[in-house]
Amino acid sequence: MATQAFEDIADTFAFFDDWEDRYRHVIELGRDMPDMEDALKVPATKVDGCASQVWIMPEVTGSGPDARFDFKGDSDAMIVRGLIAVLHALYAGLPVGQVPQVDARAELGRLGLDENLSAQRSNGLRAMITRIREAAAAQASPEAG
């Protein structure tokens, strides 16, 4: 159920022989990501559970079954900023109802991220995924209107 943007990342990762090349590519993805406005870096958008400073601001366009999920994100750590870019590729543009159904662990496992991140970074990545899934689920619920 991955987006084309995520499939492109997976295809690129398949060309790399070692984790160091993948690590550099993740950092490059983070560098290429648009900056998040400082005004959005507030306690409400801060992701708890991350060793670095991480902010995620969900954005939903449309309504009902046609509503599409997107988010802005940023971090003060380049590798984490790259992980945010990977998550953006995984989730951006999906219908809000599909976001919680994405098996992020399996998709990220295709990149080898699960076995090559420190425990702290893995915990932070899970916290970011939880924030994204909860934000999309809230928007997809009938009460979200």
Query: Catalytic site residues?
Result: 50
Of 131, 124, 139, 144, nearest to 57 by C-alpha is: 131
Q: For the chain, what's the residue count?
A: 145
**Tokens 């959005």 identify what position?**
40
C-alpha 121/C-alpha 38 separation (Å) is: 23
**CA distances to 25, 62, 114 from 99, in Å:** 25, 15, 20
